[in-house]
Structure 1
């Protein structure tokens, strides 16, 4: 009764709030007068105001001023306040309040955007000739509270500084200005990068991700992280990237735009002219932009016709309007058996990323056999390089392109009983990134000519009746929620179909683990049990300890983690968020953790396996650090969190729910406590220095030294099954051995794990030990990035 009384007092409270006088404003623009209620720059180069984007739908935006006879919808928009939440064409306003805040109100009721500023002084909103909208103290240009240049959307204007705290996000299409899939930003290693952040996967594609920074002509040795396009046509970045436009030196109207097709272009035009022309672009290979044609499709580029998309043989297009959705198989792909599969030869075709592994010196038959043994293998790439043949089994066919210049081929896995053939893909001229339809917001409004008292009574009755209905609805939902557990919801089903990532009921996980009876591991985050799911997959099911994390925050994080896809990261198959229960479902690893193998099964870890574990772990961490929009720090790299599959391929685990940050946030204040495990923690944690990806690099170096020496990082006690011995702490001991070594190989022999005896490659051992010592440097800027580590180890790996 007490709850019901509280609920039904709610309408009265809302009514009182409804009668409350709104904040008065000192300046206001009305959407219903959008043609005249505008802010114009001194020379009329730019205009700010309500910009129509569909039927009864508006943005508050800044655009290059159109001549009076030109259609406003064709104007070049350079900034939008509410790109993902357009407002209605009635009663929407932009107001400068007397409190110092600028708010954008939708239909007179909902605030959809604000500058979040406050001031006791009179303020003014001014559009400068540079295109910068500035909120400043009246008649005082030195007292700026807010400016649009600090919050770019998809465009940089000349003189606008691009920093570590900003990013450019593409539009969804030429006419749909909502946020798209492509991002320009500075990463944690101070490099300017382009990233595709699609619905299910994300990946960095510029500069070439196969190159380390110096090979791409970039420098990581800077901390300013700034870039700018000047008025003469030169774009320069602090990482040594430069772009000079074809019309450099001429003062023109210019803009640098993160386009909807994933390329960054500089556009120029003469004052007063309507046609822009491309005077420079970042990426010179349009088909190597990730995600442009979607999964299971190929991109081809014709110098005359331009870029085109086509589906793989045996696949058909998902959407006629949106190529980014890619293609779907015309057959049932449920783990084709060896006898049911065949391989179709696709010459000159490449699919970047999402390899099950990298296998050197494999014959074609060995590569084919490997793919047939893997349920998830959709085909494999086979090519010759560095004098040997290389095999790349694919778990997904993404980022595909065809080029006669590409030395290599794809062998596509298809059902044997269906005859598909491959010719040069038929070019499709409909390369559309999304639907261009406008958006209409449906709202009900009262006619302004009605009698005031009648209008008041109608409004009061509508509000009161609506609130009463909402209250009854909330009570009904509460009662239903008490009786119904929220297991297989539609959203979870759609996500499961798209990615294989699904939502489980707590009861089915309890059944899968036989009442959580077989414990296989535990840590600070929770307890892990072995289980068998209803589809006979063996899973590792982690029951998280009780935490203060809400359901929405938990679901947001696991949905992102479910999109991660790398052969050296543990695969998360799903989750459970039911009541107080928070459970994660992972693939099961046959050979347990690296820690278990070092302590009790070190003889099984021969040198080849150890080197491959170091390389694979580096690749997995490089993916987390550099190929995701969120900056993922593991914060607890240790042998217990490196799992080994049936073939001793490493999988980094427990990266989920560790720390997701925006790449431009390097403020360690968001870390409420020290994270990690003693012995593997970087000095930054102890001295409260800014936390970056280099904390994982340090921990990785410790793990590698343990693999090489078979010793504990803390005590120096032998942890592998050899003769137990005691030494000083691991890192100083290895450094001393290297310092005192008279020959290049002698110091390596002194630190090698006795369990290896002499069965290791001396050169690989020295390279790995040297890299590990660089990773554990006290100064974080002296440590390499994980991508650099992976490249160095791969270049020194001997043929298998």
Structure 2
């Protein structure tokens, strides 16, 4: 029998009801808003406010045993308790009792959180008053908003963030983020994101006894990072598509930028790094899709306490250790630092004091009377005479090309720095002894561009649907799609116009900082219509140019750059920030239409490949090239901001300046050319140049920094022998005919021959050197090169170990 007609719902109304029931998995008792004189109780799990789409909920959130905070959290997909992700909390420092605590909107218009377990009861309030009716509602943006009856906002959670920014939530001069204390402790931590008085967005460690800014790196002028100081608006926003933009011109694009249907949040984590997290609709897993500090977590201040060193392992994470002669102050609590296990009868008694050299160690800050351009002896004496000097750093300054002295009154922010050009000396009693392992504190930094940042796999599972409902949904999608296209076109033209203005302003600022965005016409004129070619490779052609400021430059025109303009600008600006005396310096770029060009400093003597047979490349210069190239690659592998691998180490990519000092070039092009195709050292295609490529490129093994080490070893063998790996070695054995031999086996066999008055090396070394070289150092260089070209990548040294081996023998020579 058919049901009564009065029980039948019209199809549109039925469809709406069906969709609501299908999509809404929230408690039926969830509240859309909180009115005056109403309360939410900690004892009632259903007392929650829910946004209209169900994306966010607000209510009592468990933060410990019988301890609750009033919070906003993601509730789509549904979650419970600590498994939910909070984005705002009213009472981080004062959790309330799990019995009789309430969150109320008083008749006065004031929001009040009360704790029945505390005297006085009130833990938090909004401090608002409203003569008219007021209502608290949770928006779909995650913003908890209190309004009066005319819709005027009296208070909103977006104005007082805790550790998280949501899309469209502004950070301004009056707001800041403060990290949580630990992974499982929501209370206020020691890291803060804020706008400083110079209008620059900064990260600072503000600990119990010390504080210090660590991002952007304080030892570099903010303008050199592309930060714009002359804008007092002080605002930063993460947009729904994954672009974080600040008024000081800091910009971060997530790895999934442009995907609209994503949940996103930017969180200042308890470890001091600022990260953007994304997840797909329906997923419970957050993926890191962007971060402020990539690959160098020990550069974040406050990781370890006084007199300790931070080390990083990609698997185990960060760890701390005391410097030699010191022990933990509080076992298990590295924030307390280390204390000496020795005493001086008189801290200024020179006859009781000696200095012990530490390798690959740097302590930032707390310098006493920095002395520029001085000798090691003077630096030594300064610290010796200063009673409260704990040690000193004597290191090379690239900008001034001098050695400078940094006496330290505190040993803080210590970390390993494998490419440090200089030494650190710590003050200890004369009778204190140490093992060599205690003094060599070297660790490996993981600089993978995707070690933590993941490109999300957007594969959606399909569910069975009712045919009629599917048909109606398709119609709704078509209508909605048309509306979206119209809105997008309007948005596009408005944003495009705004970008044109911003781009012009940015070009002016970058020009002042030395890093400039050039137009294609400017570079066409500077290169005289690209007439003077000075080099070419798989990525593009290099032309000589004369810039308007009369600087001679090298302009590389990329052949197959498939990146969008925004991605290219983001990566180019990161390449510019990589700074080392043995890496080529980038001055600017061009991203206009289909054109992608990079502007570099011009190297007077061209590439190593062009100079291998030159008599100017004598033994001393070749050895310096070996050391300098190793230092540059060690920086890329272990201290850089972005890259792990060069992927194409060869003589053509080692350039020589006016003093024949080497600079590694093209170290960022694999990322610019193939953005998004590199994931955890797995490559979508073989890279490199035949003859210089490591065996793992063609044997389907994982690609690591040891692949660059292999290529470096081949280059060194070629530089020593004058023989290219792309050709065979022609050898005339006595009484025999000429035959072809491969370079590596031939070199190994020669080095295993018994020494006969240096004849072994005489047969191996490039005749262009005319036997004018140091026999012992030459032998060491060849031995190191052969270690680098081991078939088993695990048997190869790291580049920092190569630097150590070469410098140790150079100093002993």
Query: TM-score, normalised on structure 1?
Result: 0.51
SS in 2 for 1:25: coil
SS in 2 for 1:737: helix
Partner of 1:66: 95
- Does the aligned pair in 2 maintain the 1:711–1:717 contact within 8 Å? yes
Q: Deviation at 1:288? A: 5.3
* 1:749 and 2:804 matched: no
* 1:582 and 2:596 matched: yes
Partner of 1:785: 798
Partner of 2:24: 24
> Per the alignment, do residues 679 and 171 of structure 1 end up closer, same or farther by CA in structure 2, a change over 3 Å counting?
same
- Does the aligned pair in 1 maintain the 2:311–2:320 contact within 8 Å? no
> Per the alignment, do residues 689 and 596 of structure 1 end up closer, same or farther by CA in structure 2, a change over 3 Å counting?
same
Paired with 1:174 and 1:351, the residues of 2 have a C-alpha distance of 25
Paired with 1:578 and 1:606, the residues of 2 have a C-alpha distance of 43
> Per the alignment, do residues 521 and 743 of structure 1 end up closer, same or farther by CA in structure 2, a change over 3 Å counting?
same
- Does the aligned pair in 2 maintain the 1:50–1:58 contact within 8 Å? yes
Paired with 1:62 and 1:734, the residues of 2 have a C-alpha distance of 69
Q: Deviation at 1:641? A: 0.4
**Rg larger in 1 or in 2?**
2
Paired with 1:593 and 1:625, the residues of 2 have a C-alpha distance of 22
Paired with 2:506 and 2:41, the residues of 1 have a C-alpha distance of 42
Paired with 1:697 and 1:38, the residues of 2 have a C-alpha distance of 55
* 1:688 and 2:700 matched: yes
* 1:90 and 2:145 matched: yes
Partner of 2:727: 715
- Does the aligned pair in 2 maintain the 1:39–1:49 contact within 8 Å? yes
Q: Extract unaligned runs of 5+ from structure 1.
A: 1-15, 52-56, 75-84, 93-103, 114-151, 159-169, 186-196, 208-214, 229-234, 258-262, 266-283, 291-297, 302-309, 314-343, 357-375, 385-397, 407-463, 720-724
Partner of 2:504: 489
Paired with 2:648 and 2:794, the residues of 1 have a C-alpha distance of 20
Partner of 1:38: 60
Paired with 1:353 and 1:30, the residues of 2 have a C-alpha distance of 63
Paired with 2:31 and 2:381, the residues of 1 have a C-alpha distance of 58
SS in 2 for 1:299: coil
Deviates more, 1:750-759 or 1:519-528: 750-759
Paired with 1:581 and 1:796, the residues of 2 have a C-alpha distance of 47
Q: Deviations over 1:515-544 (max 9, x none)?
A: 110011111111100010000000000111
Paired with 2:790 and 2:323, the residues of 1 have a C-alpha distance of 25
Partner of 1:381: 404
Paired with 2:184 and 2:555, the residues of 1 have a C-alpha distance of 51
Partner of 1:299: 366
> Per the alignment, do residues 31 and 659 of structure 1 end up closer, same or farther by CA in structure 2, a change over 3 Å counting?
farther
Q: Deviation at 1:24? A: 1.6
SS in 1 for 2:579: coil
- Does the aligned pair in 2 maintain the 1:533–1:539 contact within 8 Å? yes
Paired with 1:402 and 1:73, the residues of 2 have a C-alpha distance of 50
Q: Deviation at 1:91? A: 9.2
Correspondence for 2:397 among 355, 374, 377: 355
- Does the aligned pair in 2 maintain the 1:771–1:789 contact within 8 Å? yes
Q: Deviations over 1:468-525 (max 9, x none)?
A: 88755644666x69xx978962234334444x21111111111111111001111111
* 1:648 and 2:738 matched: no
CA RMSD of aligned residues (A): 5.9
Query: TM-score, normalised on structure 2?
Result: 0.51
Q: Extract unaligned runs of 5+ from structure 2.
A: 1-14, 43-58, 74-85, 97-114, 126-139, 148-157, 168-178, 186-201, 208-212, 214-266, 276-290, 302-307, 339-357, 373-378, 384-390, 408-419, 429-481, 732-737
- Does the aligned pair in 1 maintain the 2:371–2:405 contact within 8 Å? no
Correspondence for 2:517 among 479, 503, 509: 503
1:433-512 to 2 correspondences below 5 Å: 472=490, 474-475=492-493, 489-498=504-513, 500-512=514-526
Correspondence for 2:779 among 743, 766, 773: 766
* 1:544 and 2:531 matched: no
* 1:609 and 2:616 matched: no
Structure with the larger RCO, 1 or 2 (CA within 8 Å, 6+ apart):
1
Paired with 1:48 and 1:40, the residues of 2 have a C-alpha distance of 9
SS in 2 for 1:604: coil
> Per the alignment, do residues 528 and 182 of structure 1 end up closer, same or farther by CA in structure 2, a change over 3 Å counting?
farther
Paired with 1:708 and 1:471, the residues of 2 have a C-alpha distance of 61
Q: Deviation at 1:570? A: 0.6
> Per the alignment, do residues 571 and 218 of structure 1 end up closer, same or farther by CA in structure 2, a change over 3 Å counting?
closer
- Does the aligned pair in 1 maintain the 2:533–2:542 contact within 8 Å? yes
Paired positions, count: 501
